[in-house]
């Protein structure tokens, strides 16, 4: 049994968050500790703990995460200058919350990842 995280509570509106977008597949909200002027998390509504657990049946959801990321980047007016999408996986990837999520980071010149 996979344990729900704080993200499930945000998706169900049980705890507050600055939700920018929600549909039947994904929810997007501002990161509580932003690492850039724009830092938004795009999260599948169903609990998939990490990228290793993504199955073929989830492809529509992960496609939606990208289209929502692009839509929000445009809304935030960072689409022309650019932004970064990151999905961390497990310990070495720096994943803290075991509910897979995409970081959308922008609004500043980002440094190299490595
Ligand atoms: P990761 O390290 O990839 O698992 O990223 C987890 C992210 O979730 C971090 O950037 C946190 O700041 C963010 N976070 C944790 N709790 C909340 C919350 N309640 N609302 C919004 N973002 C959160």
Residue whose Cα lies nearest atom 17 of ligand 1: it is 32
- Let me know: does 36 contact 108? Beta carbons within 8 Å: yes
Q: Note whether residue 85 is domain-resident.
A: yes
What burial letters (b/e) apply to 68-90, b meaning 16+ CB within 10 Å?
bbeebbeebebeeeebeeebbee
Label residue 105 by pLDDT band (50, 70, 90): very high
Is the pLDDT confidence value at 114 over 90?
A: no
Probe residue for ligand 1, chosen from 5, 96, 104 as the CB with the greatest number of ligand atoms within 8 Å: 96
For position 47, which CATH number holds? 3.30.428.10
Q: Note whether residue 66 is domain-resident.
A: yes
pLDDT number for residue 4? 94
Print the domain residue range for 12. 6-106
The structural domain count of the chain equals 1
- What confidence tens digit (pLDDT) does each residue in 50-66 have? 999 999 999 999 999 99
Is the pLDDT confidence value at 45 over 80?
A: yes
Q: Note whether residue 111 is domain-resident.
A: no
Please confirm, yes or no, whether 101 is among the known catalytic residues.
Answer: yes
**How far is residue 81's CA from residue 83's CA, in Å, rounded to a whole number?**
7
Query: Model's pTM, two decimal places?
Result: 0.98
């Amino acid at each position: 049994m996979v344990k729900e995280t704080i993200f499930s509570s945000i998706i169900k509106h049980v705890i507050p968050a600055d939700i920018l977008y929600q549909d039947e597949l994904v929810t997007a909200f501002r990161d509580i500790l932003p690492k850039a002027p724009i830092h938004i998390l795009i999260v599948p509504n169903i609990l998939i703990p990490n990228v290793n657990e993504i199955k073929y049946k989830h492809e529509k959801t992960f496609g939606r995460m990208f289209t929502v990321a692009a839509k929000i980047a445009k809304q935030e007016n960072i689409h022309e200058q650019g932004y970064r999408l990151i999905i961390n996986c497990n310990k070495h990837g720096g994943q803290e919350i075991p509910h897979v999520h995409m970081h959308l980071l922008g609004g500043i010149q980002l440094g190299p990842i490595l």
